[in-house]
A and B are shown apart, each in its own frame.
Chain A
Amino acid sequence: MSVYNERCTLDGLQKLDPQSIGAIYDQYFPEVYRYVRYRINDDSIAEDIASDVFMRLLEAAQKKQGPQSSLKGWLIATASHAVNDHLRRQYRRPVELLSDSLPDAGPSIHSEIDMREQNRMVQGAFAQLTTEQQHVLTLRFGQGYSIEETATHLKKNINAVKALQFRALASLQRHIGEVHHE
């Protein structure tokens, strides 16, 4: 979306114009959903949170507190906060989720089970990271952002992001090992 178009879209958003809102949704919902889904290993919760991010956008726009320049930056930051809130609530009231990772019976069932087991371990290890480490890994590997783009979203300089990324991956590797040993 060009700067001019984004400006027009933001104006339309403030007026709660359905056309502008639809355009924003189509443009950014997949990205927000991917971010949330990456950090939360649950499709329906990720869907709810991603949807909630857009509700917050509308309410903020109505109160004239919405994004002034970067819509995408605002959405990802809000998604990050929403996920953090969710994880905090989940930490207070842990729920034993029914595993939906049981594969259907089929010819490649063993490789599928291995892959899901690996994913489960990585997800478990990922959940052990700090929110900032989760955030940087999500942006880099979930969203596929460049180091420069990630630095912009994190409002940090590039070297700081590189260091943060290194520590996050090291920590993830360590936690995967711990989960594997369990």
Chain B
Amino acid sequence: MNNLYEVLEICLKDIEQGATIDTVLFRYPDLAEELRPILEASVDARNMATLAPSAEVMRRNRARVLQHAAQLRERKVRPASRRIWFASLRRLVVTLTVIVALFVSGTSLVRASSATLPGDNLYPVKRTWEDVLLLFTFNLQERDALEVEHENERLHELLEVFAIGRFAEVEFAGVVTSQNGNEWLIAGIPVVISDQTEVRDGPVSIGSAVRVEGHAQNGIVLAERVRLLPPDAKLPDEVEVEREEHEEDNSGKGSESHDSQNDEIKLESGSKDGSSNSGSGSDNSGSESDENRNDSGNSIEDNSDSGENNDSTDSDDNSGHGSNDEGGGDNGDDSGGGDNSDSGGGDGDD
């Protein structure tokens, strides 16, 4: 069969060259009968071939094609400019949306962070926002006022941290009012200086303005770094007054106790009052016993010690309380301490 196709191809080439069907078939007598109708059909097929299009057809269609190309070019340019316009608009909308979202979420974040304390997750936001406010406050007086406000806020935060008994990294500024060995009083805050404490920018003495960085713990600040501030540094002001009131409360509560922390706090009030710690404590023990009964929050740590003291002094009366101390863990100690202090005070009065 392949031979037949080959022979047909040879015959077609010969006919194309001008040979007749009879001539080409003469060479293939065995296939002549089969090939003749095929070759006749090929001649018919070849006769169907048309001539090239006329010049008129060429010209007419050339114009159509080129016109179409021009339309496509125009369409190509128009959507491009429209696309650019749409892209710009879309970009603008996205940018505005992001700005609004950032503004809304940012202000919400700042608002949420305003009441945070050192150790809270959002506390850095609060501090950063304070820095931003300072950065954009160009009036010098307003800027000074804002700095003082921020320093006051640091002390407020520190008192709050003390109140909730949190261990947190803190920072505050103030004047050194007392230096009792390693125990200093700065802006009314008891600060413990250790060997690891780094004291920068010169020796610190009473009256020096310093910035303290350290950790708040059990009503004191364990200083990591104490830096001497320049004379014109902004320091907290009215907070110290509040601190005094707070200290007075604490001194009352701590009147029954003799732990070192409350001794530090009483240093300030004592120095201001000019009275001794022991005297004030004993004087106030009876009068403030009722207050301490209600103020269980502040007496958690302090009263544990006072309980011990009362155990030693009122051992006869407190056998029942002693059994409470044995039965309880920390809480037992706390509650026992509270009870003991109260009952001790009551007993004393009685």
Contact = CB atoms under 8 A, between A and B. Distances in A.
Interface of A: 16, 18, 21-22, 25-26, 29-30, 33-34, 37-38, 47, 50-51, 54-55, 58-59, 62, 118-119, 122-123, 126, 137, 140-142, 144, 147, 159, 162-163, 165-166, 169-170, 172-173, 176
B66 to A, nearest CB: 6
Contacts of A119: 47-48
Q: Is the interface of A mostly helix, strand, loop or mixed?
A: helix
Interface in B10-42: 12, 37-42
A140 B46 CA distance: 9
B52 interface: yes
9 contacts: A21-B66, A25-B65, A37-B50, A51-B65, A126-B45, A137-B45, A159-B2, A165-B9, A173-B37
Contact of A169 (B38, B49, B69): B38
B53 A170 contact: no
A21 to B, nearest CB: 5
Interface stretch (B55-63, B110-118, B156-164, B183-191): B55-63
A165 B8 contact: yes
Contacts of A47: 53, 57, 60-61
Contact of B61 (A37, A50, A159): A50
A21 B69 contact: yes
B82 interface: no
B5 A169 contact: no
A34 B45 CA distance: 13
Contact of B38 (A26, A62, A126, A170): A170
A126 to B, nearest CB: 7
Interface residues of B, number: 38
Q: Top 3 A-B pairs ranked by shortest CB distance? A: A173-B41, A162-B5, A141-B45
Contacts of A25: 61-62, 65-66
B272 interface: no
A113 B65 CA distance: 37
A141 B46 contact: yes
Interface string B66-78: 1011101100100
B44 A18 contact: no
A176 B41 contact: yes
B6 interface: yes
Nearest to A53: B65
Nearest to A162: B5
A172 B41 contact: yes
A170 B72 contact: no
Nearest to B50: A37
Nearest to A141: B45
A62 B70 CA distance: 12
A147 B73 CA distance: 39
Contact of A142 (B2, B48, B66, B70): B48
A163 B1 CA distance: 9
Contacts of B145: none
Contacts of B48: 38, 119, 122-123, 126, 141-142
Contacts of B47: 118-119, 122
A18 B71 CA distance: 12
Instruction: Report which residue of B1, B12, B53, B60 has the largest number of chain A beta carbons within 10 angstroms of its beta carbon.
Output: B53
A30 B40 CA distance: 27
Contact of A29 (B8, B39, B51, B53): B53
B133 interface: no
B49 A142 contact: yes
A144 B15 CA distance: 13
A62 B45 contact: no
Contacts of B49: 34, 38, 141-142, 144
Contacts of B66: 18, 21-22, 25
Contact of A34 (B1, B4, B50, B62): B50
B76 A62 contact: yes
A166 B4 contact: yes
Contacts of B69: 16, 18, 21, 58
A31 B57 CA distance: 13
Contacts of B44: 118, 122, 172, 176
A58 B8 CA distance: 40
A70 to B, nearest CB: 20
Given A34-B52, A141-B42, A162 B62 contact: no
Contacts of A29: 53, 58, 61-62
A76 B97 CA distance: 53
B38 A21 contact: no
Contacts of B65: 21, 25, 51, 54-55, 58
